[in-house]
Amino acid sequence: MIRRSIASAAKGLVLAVVLSLLLCGNRIAGSANFAGNCAREMIVIFRDSDTQWMVFLCLLVYFVTFLFLRSHDQSQSLQILNKQRIAHPNLWLVAAVAVAAVVYFLNYSVSDQALTFLAGAVVGQGMAVWAGLQSRKQKVESRNGFVFLVAVLLVMLLAVASFWRSGIGPEFAYHRQPRWSGPWENPNLFGLLMGVGMVLAISQLVQSLKPKGQDQRRGIWNRKFGVGRMAVIILYLLAAVLMGRGLWHSYSRGAWVATAGGLAYLIVECAHLRAASARQGGRSAERTSAECGVRSAELSLTLWLRRNWLPLSVVALSMVVLGFWQFRQSDWLPGRRAFSAANVNDFSWRNRVAAWEGALQIMAEHPWLGAGWNQPEPLFRHYYLPPKLDESAAIEMNDYLMLDATLGVPALGCFSIYLWLCLSGKAENRKLKAEMAGHVMNAELGKPSDGAQRPDAPCPQPSSILNPRSSAWLAATCRAGAIVLAVGFWFDGGLFKLATASTFWILLELGRVELLPQKATEGTETQPATA
């Protein structure tokens, strides 16, 4: 027992150090201590023209090795539902990385973007392999605990980073109001990472409020909170407030929109999982609930939201329109900032639109292999920048068009398909989710694999698969964090920055992992699967 505790503590410490280096590597490199000197020496090696190609080649070897290890991991096999290989996300990721490598070596030049892009993919695959090692010998709870640990550490580190107000780059301000940058280069990156941490914290906070279990004598669900559980809830709430405050003071419109998208995805996924659990529970669940006298208010709310999503969308759109007319000329800076996109005199969005047009023109002239690494920004500055604008760095604010202009349409298409398969899932994955919810419901109803009902079965709780350590909810939480960054990459960039890129790849890969909870695996022959 002591040995297991020490091993768990060591694993958590190593994981915390790795995540800290990925998130705050640039900040560490700017310090004057021993770690800063080591980081600066490594950066010099990475940016040296005689050694960077070797580093890039080593990363390619690591990437292939991690893919090989994942393909031989039973917990991440594709055989459970006879999925077609062409629908597997890794196939499209390999294609995108292959194009990136070909373009890099054909027109070799020192490129931080190429190195960061490949390093992010390697970090994501490495985290997935590390998670896969936890599931050997059907240790499903251990693997779920690893993903849970990653989410908790990200929340903790980002909450601590929210106390920083000045970054390592120049100071930014909006109408003389300072914009917080944290330990990163600009407030846009700070806002995106605060949005990710806020989504992760809110997800775990909501699920920590779920009932822990059933009182067998009273037949009701226990909603009492112990001291430890109440402390966890308070810490999650405090972290969400701190990161929400940092997100607010970043004045990053892209981060605000991206955070809203991540929260919306959590709500939709929660409704989907609860509905799947209720459907699989079927009449047995309803009959048992009637016998116990339990009515699920959460299920009623879910059904109400599913039935009234259209009028709710109209109301939300009306509120946005009213907010625009209210705040477009207001002296309240956050409101003016939020609706400044509709201001024709706002140079921020005009620079972005001009950069998008220039990126599309570069894509039209270099459709297959792009212009090459480091080339889109100089081409845009010299040939496609409108005469009235003098800022060419705006082309780097949209990572998707930047990737298109750099590597060509095929690479962007492969990356887009990979991203879609990871975030949305396929029909087979939706079927697996429903089957997983059914297994959990059967386990809670006391039903064996043949569907028989035990007379002493406890009352069901349709949303019980959404506990904080449930693999389905952990995967949805990670995907919500990845969606925040995926949306933010369209407005503010970050795919070629180490802090945001590594967080994005880690959450994206861990969000693909969905295992049956321990109760569902007992007495069944269902094997774990990956999305």
pLDDT for the residue 523: 37
Name the helix (H) or strand (E) containing 177: strand 177-179
Phi-psi region of 451 (alpha: psi -120 to 50; beta: other; left: phi over 0): left
How far is residue 79's CA from residue 84's CA, in Å, rounded to a whole number?
A: 9
| C-alpha span between 56 and 218 (Å, rounded) | 63
Model pLDDT, residue 278:
60
pLDDT of residue 425: 60
Burial label for 413, CB within 10 Å (0-12, 13-18, 19+), is: middle
In the chain, domain spans? 47-326+411-530
Amino acid at 278: A
Instruction: Give the pLDDT of residue 512.
Output: 79
Sign of CA dihedral 312, 313, 317, 323: positive
User: pLDDT means per 10 residues in the chain (531 residues)?
Assistant: 78 90 84 81 89 94 92 51 65 94 92 94 92 59 79 94 77 82 90 95 84 45 64 92 92 92 87 66 46 47 68 78 66 65 67 86 91 91 79 84 94 94 62 45 43 44 48 87 95 92 94 50 38 39
Q: With beta carbons less than 8 A apart as the criterion, state whether 508 and 147 touch.
A: no
pLDDT at position 515: 39
Q: Which two tokens stand for residue 527?
A: 């094997």
Helix (H) or strand (E) holding 36: helix 34-46
Q: Strands 513-514 and 529-530, how do they pair? A: antiparallel
pLDDT at 207: 80
Specify whether the CB–CB gap between 477 and 314 falls below 8 A. Answer: no
- Asked whether 465 and 520 are in contact (CB, 8 A), the reply is no
| Length of the chain counted residue by residue | 531
How far apart CA 84 and CA 39 sit, in angstroms, is 43
> Which pLDDT score is estimated for 420?
92
Residue 523 corresponds to which tokens in the numbers above? 């007495």
Please report, for residues 232, 257, 486, 488, the alpha-carbon distance to residue 483 in angstroms, rounded to integers and kept in the order given: 25, 11, 5, 8
Q: What is the spatial distance between Cα 42 and Cα 48, in angstroms, rounded to a whole number?
A: 10
What pLDDT, on a 0 to 100 scale, did the predictor assign at position 167?
A: 63
In whole angstroms, what is the distance from residue 292 CA to residue 193 CA? Answer: 45
Rounded Cα–Cα distance for residues 408 and 372 (Å): 9
List, in order, residues 6 or more apart from 408 with CB less than 8 Å away.
Answer: 99, 103, 363, 366, 367, 368, 369, 370
